[in-house]
Structures are given as C-alpha cells and as structure tokens.
Amino acid sequence: MTAASGKGPTRIRLGFVGGGRGALIGPVHRTAARLDDRFEVVGAVLSSNAEKSVADAAALGIPKGYGSLGQMIRAGGLDAVAIATPNDSHAALAIEALDAGLHVVCDKPLANTAPDGRRIAEKVAETGLVFCLTHNYSGYPMIRQMRAMIEAGRIGKVHLVQASYRQGTLATAIETGDIPARLRWRLDPAKGGGSHVMGDIGSHVHQLIRYTTGLGIDSVMAELGAIVPGRQAHDTGQALLRFANGGRGQMLATKVAHGAENALAIEVHGDRGGLEWRQSRLDELTFLRNGEPQQILTRGSPYLEPLARQACRLPPGHPEGFHEGFGNLYRDFAEQVAARLEGREADPLAATIPTAADGLDTLLFIDACIRSSETESWQRVET
C-alpha cells in the first residue's frame, strides 16, 4: 500500500463501511476524519444495496460508492477502512480488511462475542496493522489528563473507582411503538449482543476505567437485566469490581434514568488524592486531596500534561467536545499509519488509542458480568 501524496504529513486514503444517511454515528466518524486533514476519503460502502450505496456516497460528497467492502478493496487505492456498521458485522469486515493489508478504525464494541473479538485481536497481532477502536471518550483532553496524572503517581496507589453512564432513552416501553431504526437493531440480541446495555454504553464505562487507571479487573459481582416490565433486552447493568492491585470499584450503566442526558462520570481515588470528571462539565477535572482546597483543572491550560495538551484544539473557555474527542482518535490513528508508510517512529502521544486488545478485554469483562448475573456469584474475568 502507498499513501496519497501531498505536502505535509501523509494523508491516509480512507474508505468508510456503514454509517449512511440517517445513521447516528456514521456522520460523526466522517466529521472526525476531516477535522485535521489527515485523511483523503476515497470511497464508501453505505448500504448493502449497491444502488443506494452509490447514491448515498454521491449525496455525501464521497467520490465513489460500492456495494460491498470486497468490491471497494478490489478497486484499490486504500490505506485504511473505517467500520461503522451494526455490531454483528464488525468481525467479518475487520478481518476482511486486515487480510487485505488495510489498517482499521472500528466503532465499538469490537464484536458481539468474545470469540469473535479474539479472532480480530489475533489477526491484528498477526498482521501488525494499526487498529483503532473508537471509544471516543478517551479522546477527551481531561480524560487524558486524568490518565497522565494517575500514571505519574499524582494520586498514589489507586484503591477506589466509581464510574457510571446514565441515559433515559429506554425509560419507557418504546418496543410497543415505532422504534427508531438506530435502536431497533441495538435491541436485537443477534445484532446488538447478549447484553444491550453493557455492549452499548457499559463498554464505554469499562474502557474508561481501564484507560484512566491502567488497572486490570480480576473479578466482578454483577446484576444485569431489564427494569422496564416486559422488556427482553438488558436496560441496566451494575457491578462491583475487584482490581488486580487489590483496589475496589463500582460501575453502573443504565438507559432507564428518566431525563439523564448521556451522564457519563468517573471518580478515581488513591492513597494520596482523587480525581473526578463528568461529561456534563467535560472541560474540567477536579483534583482532590485531604486537607487542601479542591483544584479545578481546565482544558487548554498550559499546566496540563503533554498527553492532554496534545488533545486540545482551542484555548480555554471555547466549547470543545464530542466530535473533537472522536477527531483525536482519528488523528492519532492517522499518525500511527503515516509513520508506518513514511518509515519513521510515530509520535508517542498518539499511542494511547483503544486497540483490538482493549476491545477483547471489554468483551471478556461483559462475559464475566453475564455469568455473574446468571449465577449470582463473583466471577473471574478471563484473559
């Protein structure tokens, strides 16, 4: 594979799979890829119907639409693909792209099952290609600041973690009405996975805990299920966590919190201090220490760690958020791929993007939560 030529850093030739007109996350992927001008979007598979795919590509200003990933690969001219399809197709598409020598961006979760996730992770290890899983919240500057501070020992040994993601999207029995297409497939276990809430938003909570603390989760005591009567899909999941370093934690993921607007939050406490972050105030990170005033660290400030400063696009006080976090993952992915194509070392600050191995870790965690909920017992998280 050779990259598109041009002045400055190599622009990665990218093809999209999924996320056509009317999709929720596809437009976010496309916007993120354009933020730093590190990609040249050359084609897309936006529908399994070739005619619709071509029409959608034209409507979105993408040069060429295709009826399948295989067709787009055979046309040539790609360095990487971005997958934004329902969960059940991730494994086949990712492995097809990796087998073709293409680097991959894939929407979370990695797959519906741990065996499929392991197939992807093993293929990535075998090929040595770059794989980015878009857990976009790890692209937020203040989440990266939290990670850097914990890694530097600023709060000491981590011994307590509390994290949650609350939504109100399923607070009522929407299954009896006209379900939006973006929810319909997610609530279908064949497409959305064995635990809807854990695969859809619980995976973000797990990844955020692992990303910020660096700690492995040894075992869980979980309860998963539906709170809304008559619902088959899980709408709520909660778990007690035991970490590899002896620390303890709690997590909650729910879609029945009436009025909650993507209320994602994490608190990490060590033996020397604590850190708190909430998406509702995503530009701030609270630094806590006994006997001292709280410190509010803000995005874009010169005192932030390099990992956080590199993720800031605007000066303090200017709104910056969801799309930019996604864009940071795309930029880091592009830097890693460009470094391969140019035969140089990648910027080390681009090295923290979620990988296939991270995605497999989440799937194994979800499996442990399901076993724990079914047996009402502590369960080990497999590796």
User: In CATH, what number does 12-137+330-351 get?
Assistant: 3.40.50.720
pLDDT number for residue 194: 86
pLDDT (average), residues 366-378: 98
Summarised one tens digit per residue, pLDDT across range 296-306 is 999 999 999 99
DSSP assigned state of 65: B
Q: Is the pLDDT of residue 7 over 60?
A: no
pLDDT number for residue 177: 67
What is the rounded CA–CA span in Å between residue 330 and residue 308?
16
pLDDT number for residue 280: 96
Average pLDDT, the chain: 94
CA distances for 282 relative to 2, 278, 334, angstroms: 38, 6, 25
Torsion of CA 174, 177, 182, 185, to 10 degrees: 90
pLDDT (average), residues 343-353: 96
Share of the chain above pLDDT 90, in %: 86
Q: Is the pLDDT of residue 23 over 80?
A: no
pLDDT number for residue 197: 96
| pTM for the structure as a whole | 0.94
pLDDT number for residue 48: 85
pLDDT number for residue 2: 44
Q: Is the pLDDT of residue 274 over 80?
A: yes
DSSP 159-219: EEEEEEEE--TTSS-GGGS---HHHHTTTSHHHH-S-HHIIIIIHHHHHHHHHHH-PPEEE
Summarised one tens digit per residue, pLDDT across range 118-170 is 999 999 999 999 999 999 999 999 999 999 999 999 999 999 999 999 999 99
The model's confidence at residue 93, banded by pLDDT at 50, 70 and 90, is very high
Summarised one tens digit per residue, pLDDT across range 209-238 is 999 999 999 999 999 999 999 888 999 999
- Domain map (residue ranges) of the chain: 12-137+330-351, 141-314+360-380
CATH topology classification for 141-314+360-380: Dihydrodipicolinate Reductase; domain 2 (3.30.360)
pLDDT number for residue 173: 85
pLDDT (average), residues 276-304: 97
The model's confidence at residue 334, banded by pLDDT at 50, 70 and 90, is very high
Q: Is the pLDDT of residue 365 over 60?
A: yes
Q: In whole angstroms, what separates CA 156 from the centre of its chain?
A: 27
Summarised one tens digit per residue, pLDDT across range 167-195 is 999 998 887 767 776 677 677 777 777 89
Order of strands across the sheet with 236-243?
A: 295-298, 284-288, 274-278, 263-270, 158-166, 248-254, 236-243, 217-225, 379-380
Q: In whole angstroms, what separates CA 119 from the centre of its chain?
A: 19
pLDDT number for residue 8: 65
pLDDT number for residue 10: 86
The model's confidence at residue 1, banded by pLDDT at 50, 70 and 90, is very low
Q: How many CB atoms lie within 10 A of CB 256?
A: 19
Specify the DSSP element, H or E, that contains 81: strand 80-83
Lowest-confidence pick of 1-10, 103-112, 156-165: 1-10
Q: Is the pLDDT of residue 3 over 60?
A: no
The model's confidence at residue 327, banded by pLDDT at 50, 70 and 90, is very high
Report the DSSP beta bridge partners of residue 225. Answer: 236
